[in-house]
Chains A and B, each alone.
Chain A
Amino acid sequence: DIQMTQSPSSLSASVGDRVTITCRASQSISSHLNWYQQQPGKVPKLLIYAGTRLQSGVPSRFSGSESGTVFTLTISSLQPEDFATYYCQQSYSSAFTFGQGTRVDIK
């Protein structure tokens, strides 16, 4: 199985802050990495696919980048609605896997 390790597991930030979440794959997954946002009590929502591509309708303050097996989700200016848990997911192998999640709390 390909393991996906997110860091940090949680963080506290203020509105307007720049936030960075990292996801590391246990082996090469090319660009087959997707990011989801799950607000409390809500269904997960696709933010970024194929490492860097913004899903339609997602605000441009969200961006994805990659360097080898390390992928990064950046929120350029945190908004109140962005306080949520974020998950990465690899779609490289035939068995997909999610990271353990990163919770973004209000500071």
Chain B
Amino acid sequence: QITLKESGPTLVKPTQTLTLTCSFSGFSFSTSGAGVAWIRQPPGKALEWLSLIYWDDEKRYSPSLKNRLTITKDTSKNQVVLKMANMDHVDTATYYCAHSLSLAGFFDYWGQGIPVSVSS
């Protein structure tokens, strides 16, 4: 059974760097094809794909946010970390991590999400 859970701060100040951790179980980055994505959703708005990392350390980023995002994985801890620099009020959203498989591209298991507010 695959489960994922996001952790990190729920309040950050403008210009700060947000660091979110996705801890998962039921799969491993030692398995070919495994991937974890980050997706966010501002209040009342649509889903927005942010980034994804695969078992082989291939990394993908949203072109519009590429300069602000860094995704890394810790295979031994079954964790993925997303850093988003220079946070702004428009980055207020619920941030989700989700499981994906290479060559599939869909997100079949999601974490519960973590709400992040940006305010001074």
Seen from chain A, the residues whose Cβ lies within 8 Å of a Cβ on chain B are: 1, 32, 34, 36, 38, 43-46, 49-50, 55, 87, 89, 91-92, 94-101
**CB-CB under 8 A for A43 and B46, given A89-B106, A91-B105, A94-B60:** no
Q: Which chain B residue shows the least CB distance to A94? A: B60
Task: State whether A43 touches B60 (Cβ < 8 A).
Answer: no
Q: Which residues of A contact B105 (CB under 8 A)?
A: 32, 34, 91-92, 96
Other-chain contact of B60, A34, A38, A95, A101 (Cβ < 8 Å): A95
In Å, the complex CA distance between A87 and B47 comes to 8
Q: Which residues of B contact A98 (CB under 8 A)?
A: 39, 46-49
Q: Which chain A residue shows the least CB distance to B109? A: A46
Seen from chain B, the residues whose Cβ lies within 8 Å of a Cβ on chain A are: 37, 39, 46-49, 52, 60-64, 96, 104-108, 110-113
In Å, the complex CA distance between A87 and B41 comes to 12
Q: How far in angstroms is the closest Cβ of chain A from B83?
A: 18
Enumerate the 10 nearest inter-chain pairs by beta-carbon distance, A residue then B residue, closest first.
Answer: A91-B105, A34-B106, A96-B49, A49-B106, A98-B47, A43-B110, A101-B46, A100-B46, A46-B108, A94-B60
**CB-CB under 8 A for A97 and B49, given A32-B105, A43-B112, A46-B106:** yes
Task: State whether A44 touches B110 (Cβ < 8 A).
Answer: yes
In Å, the complex CA distance between A100 and B49 comes to 12
Task: State whether B106 touches A101 (Cβ < 8 A).
Answer: no
Q: How far in angstroms is the closest Cβ of chain B from A57?
A: 11
**CB-CB under 8 A for A95 and B63, given A43-B96, A89-B49:** yes
23 intermolecular pairs with C-beta atoms under 8 Å apart: A1-B64, A32-B105, A36-B47, A36-B107, A43-B111, A43-B112, A44-B107, A45-B110, A46-B106, A49-B104, A50-B106, A87-B46, A87-B47, A89-B49, A91-B105, A94-B60, A95-B60, A96-B105, A98-B39, A98-B46, A98-B47, A98-B48, A101-B46
